[in-house]
Homo-oligomer: A and B are copies of this chain.
Amino acid sequence: MSSGKHLAKGSAKPVLPDDGVLRLYSMRFCPYAQRAHLVLNAKKVDYHTVFINLTEKPEWLVEVSPLLKVPALQVVAEKGQPSLIESLIIAEYLDEKYPQNPLLPKDALKRAQDKILLERFNGITNAFMKILLQNTGLDDFWTALDIFEQELIKRGTRFFGGDKPGFVDYMIWPWLERLPVIEYVLKDNYNFDEKRFPKVAQLITLLKEDEAVKGFYATPEQHQEFWRTRKAGNASYDLLA
């Protein structure tokens, strides 16, 4: 495990034990990287974390993540120690490779439907970045979230995964955890309406108590502080280190 410090340009490549344990290249406040942490936690799979300073990337990052992206999951036990990228692909790989606590449904149709739902979540991630970077309003964000409220109603379950968190729940959680960042940016214009989103509000409450989520959680204040420093051009990567 990492000390939580983010390695930057000029840093030495970390020497990790030759123990065959997965290595996750991550950034503490990246929602995409968080997806990988959540799945690893949910499956209680052991892994080493190497946190990366994304402003000044270490020179050796290219060796483990050719496109210089996080998350990157290095599967050191496999021949050639290959790395995987793309958070959804990493998450699905982990779900296939480690069958304990299965996250995606077994049924092919239901699996496909969960993946389509996650495609539609792009509406939320896009609206989220627009709000943060261009101070746009919340309309698009709430409209995209309606889809998820309706889907929870349709499924008739507390979690997208049924009576426990599943693939969709963990894949969308990082943005739900960051709703306070929108509040920080929009101030009084932030208006999460529990009457419009009762199921999503309940999901947020429930997921905050989930062990996998608690294992990689940051408070509203921490997310807001990270965003403040990032926006100011001196991202406080090591805030939680």
- What is A's interface to B at a CB cutoff of 8 Å? 75, 78, 82, 84-86, 89-90, 92-93, 96-97, 108-109, 111-113, 115-116, 119
Contacts and interface: CB of A to CB of B under 8 A. Distances in A.
A119 B78 contact: no
Sorted nearest first, the 5 A-B pairs with minimum C-beta distance are A96-B108, A93-B112, A97-B108, A89-B115, A84-B112
Contact of A109 (B93, B111, B116): B93
B109 A78 contact: yes
Contacts of A86: 115-116, 119
A146 to B, nearest CB: 13
A127 to B, nearest CB: 17
Nearest to A93: B112
Contacts of A92: 112, 115
A160 to B, nearest CB: 16
A150 B115 CA distance: 30
